[in-house]
Structure 1
Amino acid sequence: MTIASGAAVIIPTFNEAAHIGGLLEQLLRQKRDVVGQILVADGRSQDATRAIVAQIAAANDRVHLIDNPDRLQSAGINRAAAAADPAHGILVRMDAHSGYADDYVARLIRTLQERDTESVVVRLRTVGRTCMEKAIAAVSNSIFGTGGAAHRIGGQSRLIDHGHHAAFRRDAFQSSGGYDVHFIANEDAEFDYRLRRAGGRIWLAADIEVDYFPRSTLGALARQYWRYGRGRAQNFLKHREKLRARQLVAPLLVVMLAASTAVSLVQPYALALPLLYAAGCCAAALWLALRARSICVMLAAPALWAMHLCWGAGFITTMVMKK
């Protein structure tokens, strides 16, 4: 099935003054039959993001600033999708705080046409710049941090249940109801569930990659994975879809570590489990550091603790609260 008139590119933003100008300039270099429209859904940024977008929009009719008072990516993308010109049959989701090849949108359009699927997802390759970011990137790109998620690890292109959102057929996105704005995270996986239930197919284009720049501190990483865990629990509570084994590991780990620590107050030998877990994370960090040939990657050990324990704690908290 051929889709004409290019794509409507949607970019959710909040305080992205350092990145949005460069991304818009990159997209505007593409022909109109590739990038037909660019909609920046801004969550009322407190920096110069809106001013930068408004200035570029004043000089180019392809760029539009969409107000997103909810300050949620899901709500912003839904608003932009509704405001997009109906002539554009493809919606492409991009993030300002990421890196893209110049032919990124063109390849997504071509893949949607060739595979005739409702959605194309891509590999999210985490790229670090600072020492801490390099450690987080090493973990995020490995099985230790993601449990082997295909859109994180890579591999062969194929039909898949869920991946990093890149492009949709507009009619499929709208008929599936767009994103659920009640989700604090994991709204992409929740959408993919509804899309698949409606008969939609999701193609992982493993050869198309996005460079993702991670959180730069352990505190920010911990808060991010707390939200991820809560979002996954929200998804389970809404649809009762069977959880994968890798999604159960972190909550079980949190329970076992908490129980072992409590028991250790009367039986010191119970500390063996927390110590074994800590040693395992250190061993994984050493292996990743040797593979990357970077001493910075030894910080992968605390990054693993933050990712595993905060994801698991967020999941358990939401399951207990049931909201």
Structure 2
Amino acid sequence: MWEDRRVIPLPETPAVSYVMPVLNEEGFLEAAVRTILAQDYPGEKEIVLALGPSRDRTDEIAERLAAEDPRVRLVANPERDIPAGLNRAIAASRNPVIVRVDAHSELTPDYTRRGIATLRESDAADVGGIMRAAGRSPVQRAIARGYNSPFGLGGGAYHGDGAPGPAESAYLGIFRRDALEAVGGYDPAILRGEDWELSLRLRRAGYGVWFDPSLQVTYWPRASFGDLAKQFFATGTWRAVLVRRYGRANPWRFFAPGTLVIALAVSAVGLLLLVARVLPWASWWLLLLAPAVLYLLGIGYATIRIPEQRGIGDRLRTAATLVTMHLSWGTGFLRGILFGGGRVVDRSRA
């Protein structure tokens, strides 16, 4: 099925290493670790936390968790970047199955058990499921709605309820160690979009990437529009780096937000020229306003269709979420296309 690539057979209950990069996560780290320790998987488990230079109580909490349970181990991640932290945690881990976890995520109790079964049945090297964003405050719930909707993130399989099968990428990922090591692990030069880039290299090496919607992860997104904008600008920038590096291997949806930003900029210039009467209102230049009008209509349609909203306040926050996602991502993408990634990083957790 996977181009005759032979994966090493796994035992019934292989030992599992959970790897987690951590930076400024005092409000989320303990809950994330507890959900890992509470997994109903009967095999041996260890958790390796790669600690970046946090400015809050994250290290204190991590040290307490490690003192309470010997299955929790700590390694330093002085570079602070996610791919570097993951590679350090993987190098310090010992088991044949690697499960990537996030400090802002909480696994369902059966996540590991189901993931191992899927890994064995599919012969894939990387298995992932669905990210269910959730929120506590009104703004965070609006941002979660954006994550969970194709109007927000463009319909990637792990944001919806697709059918099990081969996938372009996997959210977080449950990996066979031998395959992960064969392709060299995460690329430390790719500071965002590292999951997609790793999945591409696995697929090009003949390994399989598999989507299983029975695997569920709760994700707690940013809780302010400012932090969301920082995150999505960095994400868009690094998606552009992937486009520069891999060209046509990238899906078309990567290009949509950047195209939108250009179209809206054209509309803005056209409106200024019309207001200044440089152009006559009766001319075909009015067509310059069409992208902005169509986008506003699209946002209005999305805010009507997205579920779990109550009242005008929720709809306004949903609209603000979608606009922030689209324009921040698209602006970052154009920056990345023109100038590369540089040292653009997500500062929203700082």
TM-score (norm 1): 0.92
Identity %: 34
- Alignment deviations for residues 146-202 of structure 1 (CA, whole Å, 9 cap, x no partner): 221111122111111112122100111111111111122111111111111101100
Matches of 1:178 and 1:168 in 2, distance apart? Answer: 10
Match of 1:247, as an amino acid?
A: F
Structural mapping, 1:24-173, within 5 Å: 24-30=33-39, 33-85=42-94, 88-173=95-180
How many angstroms does 1:316 deviate by?
0.9
How many angstroms does 1:67 deviate by?
0.4
What residue in structure 2 maps to residue 284 of structure 1? 302
Matches of 1:23 and 1:126 in 2, distance apart? Answer: 14
How many angstroms does 1:29 deviate by?
4.1
Matches of 2:244 and 2:185 in 1, distance apart? Answer: 19
Question: Residues 103 and 277 from structure 1, CA distance in 2 versus in 1: closer, same or farther, beyond 3 angstroms?
Answer: same
What residue in structure 2 maps to residue 202 of structure 1? 209
How many angstroms does 1:318 deviate by?
1.0
What residue in structure 2 maps to residue 267 of structure 1? 274
Matches of 1:252 and 1:151 in 2, distance apart? Answer: 24
What's the secondary structure of 2:221's corresponding residue? coil
1:285/1:299 contact within 8 Å kept: no
How many angstroms does 1:73 deviate by?
1.2
How many angstroms does 1:309 deviate by?
1.1
Match of 1:277, as an amino acid?
A: Y
What residue in structure 1 maps to residue 25 of structure 2? 16
What residue in structure 1 maps to residue 281 of structure 2? none
| 2:319 alignment partner, one of 295, 298, 301 | 301
Task: Choose 188-197 or 257-266, whichever is displaced more.
Answer: 257-266
Count of paired positions:
319
What's the secondary structure of 2:248's corresponding residue? coil
Which 5+ residue runs of structure 2 have no aligned equivalent? Answer: 1-8, 276-285, 342-350
Larger radius of gyration: 2
Q: Is the aligned partner of 1:236 residue 2:243?
A: yes
RMSD: 1.9
1:158/1:204 contact within 8 Å kept: yes
How many angstroms does 1:107 deviate by?
1.8
How many angstroms does 1:25 deviate by?
3.3
What residue in structure 2 maps to residue 193 of structure 1? 200
Matches of 2:214 and 2:291 in 1, distance apart? Answer: 40
How many angstroms does 1:91 deviate by?
0.3
TM-score (norm 2): 0.86
Matches of 2:117 and 2:130 in 1, distance apart? Answer: 17
Matches of 1:23 and 1:261 in 2, distance apart? Answer: 44
